[in-house]
Each structure stands twice: as structure tokens, then as C-alpha cells.
Amino acid sequence: MSQNGQPSVPGRSAVLPVVTGDTAMVFGAGILPAGHWFGTHEHPQHQIARAARGVIVVEIGDGHWVLPPTRALWIPGNTRHRTGSSEGATMSGIFVAPDRCPVSFTAPTMLRVTRLLHELFDHLTAPGTAPAPRRRAEAVVFDLLDPVEVIPIGARLPTDARARQVAEALERDPADERTLGQFATDVAAGPRTLARLFVAETGMSFGQWRTQIRLAASLPPLAAGVPIARIAGRVGYSTPSAYIAAFRRSVGVSPGRYFAR
């Protein structure tokens, strides 16, 4: 565990020096191996989560936030969340003291990371930056925090053991095309029972839930620049146009515009 509350990956991460004095921000960094997830946790500081390299994912409740280096996520203090990376990434965690913070995002908020903001983050993590220049740089960072309006994608897992088994199989392989009737024998529950459980425990029909899981699985490769033709088959769509249509119906924009807005 780092000094600012962020879990670290034993033997695979490095924590940057913690800033002391009257600063508003402290910085931590770590290498996330492919497939690694920090456990669900919270901390009193606000956090700006970002990937310096690769793509990270932050899950908060039902929300599934995918962050390439051009995006960051404001996580309000005391918000339970978990963070990971499917392909591996270098994560930068910027922790903000609530009593020294002039911005007031009260909910998780996607932020645009411009080249200038990226350079300021590097400046603030450089060793030997004096207190007065640090305070001025922090003030500019706060001025540059620019929200990006996006719809988070994802769905919570059911808690019933039978429905949960179905859900976890689809999380492992979003392209799995089995119906509830085909899953029923494996989990010892009738298809109608499973259908009722998904509605009661996720707030969605099974079909809607499956769509959200497929779209969520598509976001990390989409953020990494993988061609849509490859992504579509990987997450269970027979053609790129079917994937694009499902994405647009659920999110309101095409996949190509999701990270460009």
C-alpha cells in the first residue's frame, strides 16, 4: 500500500516521492501487469486516475470507465472503486486534498488530458520542484480540468449464484452466444428463473445486460486503436456494422467518436 492510500502491485510497481508541505496534490505511479486489478477500495482524498501508458479501467458501481492516455477520471473522495488493465499499463494516481481543492466535481467525471496538462503532471512529479512553483503549477492544473461528457458503459453482476455463474462466463468470453435456455442445464435453473433474476438483480433484461457487457469489453481495445472489424468479432458481433449499431443505440454516438469527443 502506498503512502497515499493507493494499493501497489508487489514487486511490479513504484511509488513516486510523496510531496509534503502545503501542496494540494500528491502523486503515485505503478505498473499494472496485464489482467491485474486492485481490489475495491476508497480513500478520503479525491483522485485523478490516468494512464501514462496503455489503457486502464475504473469501475464505480455500475459504471465502467476506460481511460487511454488522453483521458482521466475524477474520483471523488470516499468513493468505492476498483482499477485494472486488461493489456497492462502504467498508471498515474494524483491524489487531491479536499480542503485545498478549488473544483467541486461531486460525481465521477471523465476529464480531457491535453498535451499541456500531461506536461504539467510530469512537471509536478519531477524531483526537486520548489514549493512556490509547485503551487502555481497545481493552480494551472485545476484551471485545465475539462470534463468530457460520456455515458459510462457496463452493468453490475447478479448476486444469485446461478445467475452469477452465467454472468461470469459471459464476462470471460463476451462472444459466447449461448442463450439462457442453453445455460440453464449447466447452472441448474430454468431459463425463466434466470431471466427473472437478471431483471431483479441487475435492473436489466438478460439481453440488455449482455449488450452492456459486450460493449464494456470492447472499450479497452477501442481506446488502444484496435480496428473495429477485429473488435466486433472479439465481443460477439457477426459484423462491424452490427457492433456499431449496438454501440450507437446504447451510447448515442458511434464507437469512433466515443473517445474523440
pLDDT tens-digit map of 226-246: 999 999 999 999 999 999 999
Mean pLDDT computed over 199-204:
92
pLDDT tens-digit map of 210-226: 999 999 899 888 888 89
Judged on CB neighbours under 10 Å (0-12, 13-18, 19+), 227 is exposed
* Angle 101-116-152 from CA coordinates, rounded to 5°: 65
Specify whether the CB–CB gap between 30 and 8 falls below 8 A. yes
Tell me which residue has cell 478549488: 102
CA 219 to chain centroid, in Å, comes to 10
- Domains of the chain (ranges, CATH numbers): 25-147 (2.60.120.280), 161-258 (1.10.10.60)
Residue percentage of the chain with pLDDT more than 70: 91
Tell me which residue has cell 496503455: 54
Specify whether the CB–CB gap between 150 and 261 falls below 8 A. yes
Q: What is the pLDDT of residue 9?
A: 44
Q: Rounded to an integer, what distance in angstroms lies between the CA atom of residue 156 and that of residue 153?
A: 10
Q: Rounded to an integer, what distance in angstroms lies between the CA atom of residue 227 and that of residue 234?
A: 11
Judged on CB neighbours under 10 Å (0-12, 13-18, 19+), 10 is exposed
pLDDT tens-digit map of 112-159: 899 899 899 888 887 777 888 888 999 999 999 999 877 778 888 899
Q: Which of 140, 134, 142 is nearest to 17 (CA)?
A: 134
